[in-house]
Structure formats: C-alpha cells, structure tokens
Chain A
Amino acid sequence: MIAIQNVTKYFKKNHLRKDETDTRFQVLDNITFTIQDGEFVSFIGPSGCGKSTLLRMIAGLLPADGGRVLVDGQKVKGPGSDRMMVFQDYVLFPWMNVRKNISAGLKIRGENKESVDKKTDWAIGLVGLEGFEQVYPHQLSGGMKQRVAIARAIVMNPDILLMDEPFGALDSFTRINLQEELIRLWEKNHYTTCLVTHDCDEAVYLSDRIVVFTSSPARVQDIISVDLPRPRDRNRSEFIDLRNHILQLGRIQAEQQERQERCL
C-alpha cells in the first residue's frame, strides 16, 4: 500500500522579481490519499501541476518538504528496485543493446548469470521484443524503446510500477497498442501502478481510480473510481461520459489557471 499523507513540496524559483521576497514556490499542497496493493491509479491534471513531482517522491528521487510518503507502512527514504519507474523519454542506456538494457538492473542486483538470462528472456517475451535483443536503442522506434523501458522495469519484479507519461511522446496507434499491452501485463502480475498522464482517454481506459489534481500548487481536486468492466470499450457511453466528466474538470482548471496568469 502506498500512503501519501499531507505531502507538501516547494521548489526554488529560478527567476526572482524585484518585489518578491519568497524564494520558493509551492508545487504540492497537503496531498493525502492512499493506493491499495495491486491497484492501477492515474494522476491527471494540467501540465506542470506537480503530478510528476509526486511520482518522483514515491520513487524516492525527491524528498517531501512536509508530510510523508509511506510504502507498506515504511517511510520512503530513497529510491529502490521495489519501485521501478518508466519515463516519457525512455532513458535507455544508448551504449547497451536491448538485452543489456533490460538485464542491467539484475546484474546490479548481483543475480547469477543463469537467473539473469532466464528473467531477461521472460521480460523480452512479455513485451514482444524477441529478435531485437542485439539492437541498439537509436535503431528503435519510440514505441519499441518504451517496450524496452517497460521490460527493464518489470524484469526487476517490482511491487510498484511508476510511469511518468510513458506514452506521451508516441503516435496514437502505438499508444493504444501499448496501453492494451500494459493492461495485459498488469492483469497478469498485478503491480501497484501509478501512471501520470494528461490524456483523459488513457486514464479512463487503464485505471481503477483517477486522482484529479488542480494546478499551482497541486491539490487533490477529486478522486474518481472507474467501475467499468475490463477489457474496456472506449465507445461505451459510460466510458465516454466519464471521460467527458474529467475533461470538464480539467477545462475549468485550465480556465482558472489562464485567468490567474493573466492577473499576474
């Protein structure tokens, strides 16, 4: 279980106006919610609202300034391979081929060669990268790169999968393909999954629950349960209604944000 309790986060301002005395601005304001084991939760909100920051805090890459993040009752103190992360821009090792990219984590963990090979084969099969083992990242398309990144995460058999807009840079066909594969993987292995996205369709298609954030600073605006049977049909009226509802929330947000920016 992931428990986010009264989490607050500030960032340093890059450019200070003359009349400003406060050198930091608030990114996250008193965020509280919990994620159950095996649950698929999406974070949605305007871009730059701080949802990725929250994800990084769960990963242990950023500390909280107030409140705390608990994983299975333990305070998160730093990153660990029980919480693997997938990035929007893949972040593969350019000097390693596909196979070496995927097996790097196992080698770092110090597993023996037999176990490394077995698990790597399993992960390669799971994401459909057979035949691409010896290929280098720069020779792959975006969708294939993201498959490598997903394989690199699941090969470590994490409890939690953290995904930061993983399909944001992909074309819509590839995106839908990978969404379906991700759900298949999740149904098989039931990783607790946190997915940051700004795509309402993606959030409704994938998630058990959707956390909707307001922007600057981010607060939890609403938590929406998606009680639609899987596999989900994007054309069902309930699906469309839910998607439109979230879109509506987002639009109100965006308008407010724009008005605020105009006042400044």
Chain B
Amino acid sequence: MNQKLVLFLRGCFSFAVLLAVWYAASNTGIFGRVDVDRGKLLLPDPGTMALELWENIKTGYLLYNIWVSLLRVLKGFCLAVVIGMPIGILMGMSETIRNFLHPIFRLFAPIPGAAWVPLAILWFGLGDSAAVFIITMGALSPIITNTLQGVMEVDEKLIQVLRIMDAGGWQIVKYCIIPSIIPYLVSGFRLGLGFAWRAVIAAELVGVPNGMGYVLNVGRNTANTAITLIVILSLGVIMMLMENLFFTPLECFTENWKSKE
C-alpha cells in the first residue's frame, strides 16, 4: 500500500475513535456525571453538530463570519509582514539601526496582542480597523525577530562575493539576503500567523461585532454549545489548511538547496 493511503487511513481511524468517544460522552451524560439532557446541552453529539453546521452553512452565517475573520487576519498579517520584514532586514544589515531600534523592540515585543484590544477600541472604535491593528501588533514581533535572526546569520562571504561583483545594496538583498532568510521567514510567519489568530479572536470576543470570536460569544450567550464547538473546530481546520497550502510549499522550496549534510 502506498504511503499516502496509509496516512489517510490512519487519520480516519483517529477521527473515528474521537467521534465514538464523543458520541458516547454526549449520550451518557458525560459518562454518568450529569443528567443525560444536561449532557446533551454541554456536549451535543456529532449528529446534532452536523445538523447545526448544515443549518449555518445554508444561511451563510458561519461562512460569512469565517470570511470576516479570515480577511482581518490576512490584512493584519500582511501589514505585519510589510512593516516587519523591512525593519528586520534593515536592523540586520545596519548596526546603527539595530542599536537604535533594539531597546524599543525589546520593550514592545513581549506585549501580548490581546493587551492592545482596549487601546485599539479607544483609538479606532469597534470595527475592522481596531481588529487589524491588534492583529498587526500581535504578529509583528515574531516576524521582526525571525527576519533579524535570519539576516544576522547570512554568510558574510556570500555578501563579499556580491560586492566583488559590484552589486549594490538592493541587489545584495535580492540575490543573497532574501533567499538566505526564507527558512527563518517561514518560522516567523508561522508564529506570526498563530499570534494573529489569537489576537483576532480576542478582539472579536471583547467587542468587535462580527467574525468568529463574535459567533463564539453569541453561542455562549444563547447557550448554543453546538455553534461554539463548530467555530472552534473551524479554527483548527483553517490553521491546518494554511499550514498545508502556504507553509509546506514554502518549506519545500528551501529543501531544493538546503544542504543535507
């Protein structure tokens, strides 16, 4: 049997076991710990969930809110990349800039994205801009850190070779710095995107009136456990898809030349 099929079947088995345990827990009142009715309310069984999921897909409610959050994350994340990557590269290439920015960076980097939520709401009101701001602040520091580390570890001799070839600053960035730091960027982006999702959920839980975090909150307020679970699982699915569609190909690209010694 080929490798992929084995992996697929193994995955199916894992989920089958999970669903079975879930179903049992739901229909036995969490294994007899609570009443059966209450158990169904706390943990709806997979069938109920599937119906709820279908209802929400049909009305477009779920997909709309996923789309809203996704768009926010992408906006905030792209903004963080556009701001963070050049800062990281400049900090890596120039000692003066590094010395100047490092103390400021050290102060701001450890602040969790969610801590910016109240300030963002004060500044931008309850809406898209606030969410994007929070996401950007959350994703910025891992992107800067990893870009900087990548640039600091660029092979000095490759830059010498380029200087001998009369390469200018931009050509050194294009021919050497960017390709060298791709592996670092992948881990920076991965961390940054994780932070971005955390930030967006926090922002939407607290007040931004749509998106996945908002649906989670509505689910809690209306005692609709099914929809909160669906949103939580959707988050997992989205992260998995992003990993497979975005990061794995980027990593494969570097596999081409990364020395296997």
* Residue among A60, A79, A87 with the highest chain B CB neighbour number at 10 A: A79
Option from A60, A83, A85, A138 in Cβ contact (under 8 Å) with B257: A138
- What mask results when residues 161 to 204 of chain B are scored 1 for a CB within 8 Å of chain A, else 0? 11111110001000110011010000000000000000000000
Contact B157 A109 (CB under 8 A): no
A84 to B: closest C-beta gap in Å: 6
Q: Once the chains are docked, how many angstroms separate the CA of A95 from the CA of B160?
A: 17
Tell me if B164 and A85 are in contact (CB < 8 A): yes
Decide: A89 near B171, CB < 8 A? Known: A61-B163, A108-B165, A109-B166.
no
- Chain B residues in 8 Å Cβ range of A137: 257
Mask of A101-119 contacts with B, CB within 8 angstroms, 1/0 = 0001100110000000000
Chain B: interface residue total (CB-CB under 8 A): 24
Chain B interface main SS type: helix
Q: How many A-B residue pairs have CB under 8 A?
A: 62
Listed in ascending order, the chain A residues whose CB lies under 8 Å from chain B are 59-61, 78-81, 83-85, 87, 89, 91, 93-96, 104-105, 108-109, 136-138, 156
Name the one of A83, A136, A138 contacting B164, with C-beta atoms under 8 angstroms: A83
Q: Which residue of A lies closest to B168 (CB)?
A: A108
Interface centre among A61, A104, A156 (most CB of B within 10 A): A104
Residues of A within 8 A of B106 (CB): none
Pairwise interchain contact B166-A95, C-beta atoms closer than 8 A? no
Nearest CB of B to A80, in Å: 6
Closest CB in chain B relative to A17 CB, distance in Å: 28
Query: What residue of chain B has the Cβ atom nearest to residue A137's Cβ?
Result: B257
* Beyond A108-B175, A109-B165, A109-B166, 15 extra complex contacts between A and B, CB < 8 Å: A61-B160, A79-B160, A79-B164, A80-B164, A80-B166, A81-B166, A85-B160, A91-B158, A91-B161, A93-B179, A94-B257, A95-B179, A104-B165, A136-B256, A138-B260
Shortest distance in angstroms between B154's beta carbon and chain A's nearest beta carbon?
A: 11
CB–CB B165/A81 < 8 A: yes
B141 to chain A, nearest CB (A): 27
- Bound CA span A137–B155, Å: 15
| List of B residues within 8 angstroms of A104 by Cβ | 165, 175
Write out the residue numbers on chain A whose beta carbons fall within 8 Å of the beta carbon of B165. Answer: 81, 104-105, 108-109, 156
Instruction: Please give, as numbers and ranges, the residues of chain B lying within 8 Å of A59 by CB-CB distance.
Output: 164
Contact A91 B155 (CB under 8 A): yes
B157 and A89 contacting across the interface, CB-CB below 8 Å: yes
Is the pair A138, B261 in contact by a Cβ cutoff of 8 Å?
yes
Min CB gap A157→B, angstroms = 12
Question: Which of A85, A91, A94 contacts B259, CB < 8 Å?
Answer: A94
In the complex, are the beta carbons of B164 and A91 less than 8 A apart? no
A104-B175, A136-B257 given; A93·B164 CB < 8 A? no
